[in-house]
């Protein structure tokens, strides 16, 4: 018995446009460090600290991301993604140095935090990329399958037909901003970021949240206050995120360096002394 024309057309469409195998969208997600840390001002007492400059910013990317696929977009916009940050050694990247142990004069063991501030970030979502010139591309892991040419292919439905061209940067994004990290001790370090998804079934006592991806930053240096001279103006990425609603603790920096401020203050004091001095009029 011959199949109806509608069934034949459906079968032909499926053959010409094979669906990719179903893959958990969360497993396709991973992290990309969009803005690397460069320097920090150490504060031994925790009070004279300055945040890592520039603020580290991590972006969520997805393998084979399709901005026209509802499931892909929903995954990028999912509010359950979180990123945890820890401090690791510049060489021994598997050594967690976020805390240190020491003994008091009384012989008691104390634990002190070396990494201060907010070490967990939830996503900041944007409708487009905040800094297109530095925008990374979502990784492509599979080749695009082009259907064979057929005289009847132009009569078959296609998902691409009727869509308006999309600007490359006009795709949704998810960013994790760490604008309140600082260090207690000078030295060379790296930051390590772990991606997790806090889905409701996992929010119970005794549940274990798996790590989806781990990424480590470049080496940066934390120096004492007298040596710190590396505050820089906010990057275009930070400005773009602020324009798109990212709030405190992310803020705009004009880039007046600490060293310049100290030298300017010293020069002003010197000028005041000169102006207030007594001059001999012979």
| Digit-coded pLDDT (tens) for 95-105 | 999 998 877 77
Does 116 reside within a domain?
yes
Q: Please check whether residue 273 lies inside any domain of the structure.
A: no
pLDDT in tens, 218-233: 999 998 877 777 578 9
Domain assignment present for residue 51? The answer is yes
Q: What percent of the chain has pLDDT over 70?
A: 72
Bond before 249 cis per omega within 30 degrees: yes
Q: Looking at the 3D structure of the chain, how many domains does it have?
A: 1
| CATH number, domain containing residue 230 | 2.60.40.3960
Q: What pLDDT, in 10s, does the model give residues 134-192?
A: 999 999 987 655 555 555 555 555 544 455 667 778 899 999 999 999 999 999 999 99
Q: Is the pLDDT of residue 46 over 90?
A: no
The Cα 60–Cα 175 span in angstroms is 6
Angstrom distance (rounded) from CA 236 to CA 101 = 39
**What is each CA distance from 34 to 41, 74, 93, 215, 262, in whole angstroms?**
22, 21, 19, 11, 32
pTM greater than the 0.85 cutoff? no
Q: Pairing state of beta strands 220-223 and 39-41?
A: parallel
pLDDT band at 199 (very low <50, low <70, confident <90, very high): confident
Residue 38 is assigned to a structural domain of this protein: yes
101 three-class SS = strand
- Which range of residues forms the domain containing residue 64? 20-142+165-264
Q: What are phi and psi of 14, to 5 degrees?
A: -65, -35
Domain assignment of residue 196, yes or no: yes
């Amino acid at each position: 018995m011959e199949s109806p024309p509608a069934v034949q057309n459906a079968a032909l469409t499926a053959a010409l446009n094979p669906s990719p195998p179903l893959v958990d969208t969360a497993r396709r997600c991973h992290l990309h460090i969009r803005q690397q840390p460069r320097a920090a001002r150490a504060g031994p007492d925790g009070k004279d600290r300055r945040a890592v400059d520039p603020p580290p910013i991590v972006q969520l990317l997805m393998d084979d991301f399709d901005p026209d696929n509802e499931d892909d977009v929903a995954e990028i916009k999912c509010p359950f993604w979180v990123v945890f940050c820890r401090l690791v050694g510049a060489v021994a990247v598997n050594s967690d140095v976020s805390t240190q142990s020491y003994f008091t004069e009384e012989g008691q063991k104390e634990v002190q935090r070396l990494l201060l501030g907010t070490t967990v970030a939830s996503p900041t979502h944007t409708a487009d990329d905040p800094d297109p010139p530095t925008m990374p591309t979502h990784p492509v892991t599979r080749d695009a399958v082009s259907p064979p040419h057929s005289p009847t292919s132009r009569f078959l439905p296609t998902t691409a037909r009727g869509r308006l061209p999309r600007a490359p940067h006009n795709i949704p994004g998810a960013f994790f901003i760490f604008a309140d990290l600082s260090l207690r001790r000078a030295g060379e370090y790296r930051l390590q970021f772990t991606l997790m998804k806090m889905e409701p079934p996992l929010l119970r006592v005794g549940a274990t949240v798996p790590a989806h991806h781990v990424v480590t930053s470049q080496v940066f240096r934390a120096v004492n206050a007298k040596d710190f001279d590396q505050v820089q103006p906010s990057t275009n990425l930070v400005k773009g995120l602020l324009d798109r609603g990212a709030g405190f603790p992310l803020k705009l920096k004009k880039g007046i360096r600490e060293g310049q401020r100290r030298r300017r203050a010293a020069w002003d004091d010197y000028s005041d002394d000169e102006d207030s001095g007594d001059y001999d009029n012979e």
